[in-house]
Amino acid sequence: MTKDLSHNPIQINTCAICVPIVGPTVEDILSQMQEAVQAKVDLIELRPDMWMKDFHISEEEYIPTIVHLVEEVHSRYEKMPILFTWRTLAEGGETSIRSENYGHLLQAIVDQNIVQAIDVELFAYTDTIGQIIKQAHHQGIQTVISYHNFRKTLERDTLHLYAEQMISAGASVIKFALMPTTSDDVFSVLQFTKELTRKYPQLPRITMSMGQLGQMTRICGNVFGNCLTFGTLGQASAPGQVEVAVLKELV
């Protein structure tokens, strides 16, 4: 079944508010979902890499466990759009997964055809994942191709090369999360966002400068063309996330 593309949760000319669901137990996950629904956010991000570290199961059990949890979340909160993300250890995730199982997991989620968007890390891309992206597009699932650097902010020329690679890989949304060490780094991310907006005006983009130093980009990034910001209702999934109530007042 192909989804209605007009209902994609990440679109240009707007800035959606997304809450990561990071609870360590099924009860916590469902409780956080209820909070997100009550807060009337635009979408939620399911982060099973943060769940699995406390589930104490083998990697072979990850996929059926995660598929079941996604089904349970969807069945209870059917109207809430979902961005599905497994963040690898290399880009700030919490639980290791072999590269082949990363692909198998994304395939299982696309086959399930419940979520509205999936995150695919640029540097985890393979030809097999390229086929999964094509299938996702056919089914109306957005593909957020992402790059995260928790150590530094790269030069904008390099980031633009990465953006080109994301687009070539089939991104329907591009995402960059970078750690600043100076205020110049924060300004550079905002300038990069503005450049992306000018260069690819029809392509939704998610950008942020992380940590306390970069926190302002989560609030004002939409002025430069950012299309989504991550907010917290308690437990954050990355440094510098802002409370949803504040974002609703300012974004």
Residue 175 appears among annotated catalytic residues: yes
Choose the catalytic residue: 40, 74, 148, 152: 148
Active site residue 68: no
The answer for 74, left when phi > 0, alpha when psi is -120 to 50, beta otherwise, is alpha
Q: Which of these is catalytic: 40, 175, 194, 199?
A: 175
- Alpha carbon distance 26, 44 (integer Å): 16
Catalytic sites, residue numbers: 148, 175
